Amino acid sequence: MKPNVIDEIVKNDLCIGCGTCAGICPQKTLKIQDNEYGEYIPSETRECNSGCGLCLEVCPFSNSENETEIGTKIYGNIEGMNYLPETGYYLDSYVGYSNKFRRSSASGGMTTWFLTKLLKEGIVDYIVCPTPRKNPEKLFSFEILSDENSVKSASGSAYYPVEMSEVIQKIQEIPGHYAVTGLPCFIKALRLATQKNKKLRERIIVTIGLVCGQMKSKNYTKYIAALAGNNNFNKIQSVYYRGKSPEKPVSDYYYQFIDENDSRYKIFWSEGVSEAWINRWFTPNACNYCDDVFAELADVTFMDAWLPEYSKDSMGTNLLLVRSPEVLDIIQNGINKLEITASKISVEKVIQSQSGVLELKRKQLSHRLYLAQQKGLKIPEKRVNPSKDIGLLKKREIKLKALMQEESKQIFLDNCQSQRVDVKTFRSRMNPFVRQTYQLRLLGKFTLLPMRAIKRICK
Ligand SMILES: Cc1cc2nc3c(=O)[nH]c(=O)nc-3n(C[C@H](O)[C@H](O)[C@H](O)COP(=O)(O)OP(=O)(O)OC[C@H]3O[C@@H](n4cnc5c(N)ncnc54)[C@H](O)[C@@H]3O)c2cc1C
Ligand code: SF4
Ligand code: SF4
């Protein structure tokens, strides 16, 4: 019997809940379910008597090949291909937005434009992406879509667990060409799965990645809904995470929750969302061991243009990294037909736009790996090495965030009864950590001041 995902991944709290293992299992012995923290994990519906080990081979957190190795096989021989350790392989990079979908999309609407273009041009028969469900316990799920209107209603970012087990099974049953959207770890799982499964390999012909800094659990959405004033999450029918206001910069977006009576609850990034996001409350443990920022194994990766020259407007702008010559043609066609407003931008700018995520997933990851090693935890092999050499303040920040990540999950459970969250108690118990983070930031600013003064004098 080869090792399986339950023993190697789930028991070591390394599962991101992508569902690939359950989708590919030939015996269908795995099922994806919520755990108490509102994260998806697989469990065995009956004992596995095959022991083939396929589930583990497709898991993005197993020690199978890394993103660079897989990327070299897919993109390494394409003419004109470039490579940088930060981005992985890329042919070209663009900045822009969709003239049609910008307003209703998360950022510049280029992803929705690209997906609808794939359908319209007959390049694929189906788009596979997370879609709103109007089910309080499952607000989003991966669905197989075949028309422009459905793809448009799926636009926006799902900061909510979604899993691919059912769609992976359906793709194996229903012939056709598919395009799939995914976060970096999901795209890696798909690439591993297509290496093992001929039907998936022949049918999934385009992969679309989103840059990702972290995922959040279902309990995160319940907490923010309560913070916004809706304290009965059984009644929430839908959530939109990236509302834009004409009077605000796109970076201060709002979440909107709609309940069964069509009452709307709105909360802006600056009103408490950022506190939970930045401090990694409700983030799955697997995200602590992720080094892929730019979805290195996707044919095209979309992201927000978090650069001062673009993030001040209220509408949103995308950056994208292209890795496939066919995708380059589609982008050029969209520019020529005036469907998108886009131009080339340097890859350095693309990297700059995600500097915070790179710091988190590369520099800080190496210290997280060191800390995990010290504790004797089983951790996946990564492309950065464990290191204890990091500044004192950063060291403290990493520890504090890890503490908040763990505590937020438990404190939420302690203060959540009959579908209601006691936000006041939750916040008061998280407050000591928040205070320490604030003090740490202040200290950081003060230690920077003399450095700046010295530099000025030296100049
Ligand atoms: C969890 C998460 C973290 C992210 N972190 C960053 C970040 O740190 N920096 C950054 O620049 N961008 C990040 N993004 C990407 C960003 O939020 C936008 O999705 C991206 O800029 C595309 O914008 P758009 O207007 O082109 O997308 P839209 O036109 O709105 O289309 C988005 C498409 O992506 C699909 N989608 C939404 N959520 C998911 C999901 N969870 N998994 C798979 N497909 C999905 C939708 O179904 C839709 O088809 C993140 C996205 C997610 C979901
Ligand atoms: S394949 Fe996905 S769902 Fe399965 S164990 Fe790995 S991360 Fe979890
Ligand atoms: S941070 Fe990494 S592991 Fe977590 S959801 Fe994003 S891509 Fe997956």
pLDDT computed for residue 449 by the predictor = 61
**Which of the listed residues 54, 61, 217 should we mutate to test ligand 2's pocket, taking the one with most ligand atoms within 8 A of CB?**
61
Q: Say if 93 falls within a structural domain.
A: yes
Residue ranges making up the domain that contains 23: 5-216+288-353
Closest C-alpha to 88, from 180, 184, 178? 184
> What are the angstrom distances between the C-alpha of 351 and each of 4, 132, 241?
36, 31, 24
Q: Say if 57 falls within a structural domain.
A: yes
**Which of the listed residues 157, 238, 239 should we mutate to test ligand 1's pocket, taking the one with most ligand atoms within 8 A of CB?**
157
Q: Write down the mean pLDDT value for the chain.
A: 95
Percent of the chain exceeding pLDDT 70 equals: 97
Q: Which atom of ligand 3 is nearest to the CA of 212?
A: 6
Which two tokens mark 394?
Answer: 């950063």
pLDDT computed for residue 454 by the predictor = 55
CA of residue 316 to ligand 1 center, whole Å: 12
Confidence band for 453, pLDDT divided at 50, 70 and 90: low
Pocket around ligand 2 at a 6 A CB cut-off: 5, 9-10, 15-21, 42, 58-61, 189
Count the domains in the chain. Answer: 1
DSSP of 367-410: HHHHHHHHTT------SS-------HHHHHHHHHHHHHHHHHHH
Please, how many CA atoms are within 13 Å of residue 83, restricted to the half-sphere of its CB? 13
Confidence band for 328, pLDDT divided at 50, 70 and 90: very high
CA of residue 187 to ligand 1 center, whole Å: 13
> What are the angstrom distances between the C-alpha of 59 and each of 235, 252, 438?
34, 35, 37
pLDDT computed for residue 456 by the predictor = 64
Q: Say if 178 falls within a structural domain.
A: yes
Give tens-digit pLDDT for 346-394.
999 999 999 999 999 999 999 999 999 999 999 999 999 999 999 999 9
Which two tokens mark 189?
Answer: 């799982």
Give the ligand with the smallest distance to the CA of 40: 2
Give tens-digit pLDDT for 242-289.
999 999 999 999 999 999 999 999 999 999 999 999 999 999 999 999
Q: Say if 361 falls within a structural domain.
A: no
Q: Say if 212 falls within a structural domain.
A: yes
Ranking 61-70, 239-248, 386-395, 443-452 by mean pLDDT, the lowest is 443-452
- Whether the predicted pLDDT of 32 surpasses 90: yes
Give the ligand with the smallest distance to the CA of 18: 2
Looking at residues 148-161, what average pLDDT do you find? 98
Q: Say if 250 falls within a structural domain.
A: no
Looking at residues 70-81, what average pLDDT do you find? 98
- Whether the predicted pLDDT of 24 surpasses 80: yes
- Whether the predicted pLDDT of 447 surpasses 80: no
- Whether the predicted pLDDT of 292 surpasses 80: yes
Q: Say if 458 falls within a structural domain.
A: no
Give tens-digit pLDDT for 204-223.
999 999 999 999 999 999 99
Q: Say if 311 falls within a structural domain.
A: yes
Q: Which atom of ligand 1 is nearest to the CA of 306?
A: 11
CB 342 within 8 A of CB 335: yes
- Whether the predicted pLDDT of 446 surpasses 80: no
**Which of the listed residues 28, 59, 164, 194 should we mutate to test ligand 2's pocket, taking the one with most ligand atoms within 8 A of CB?**
59
Give the ligand with the smallest distance to the CA of 14: 2
- Phi and psi (nearest 5°) for 9? -110, -55
Looking at residues 392-406, what average pLDDT do you find? 95
CB 33 within 8 A of CB 83: no
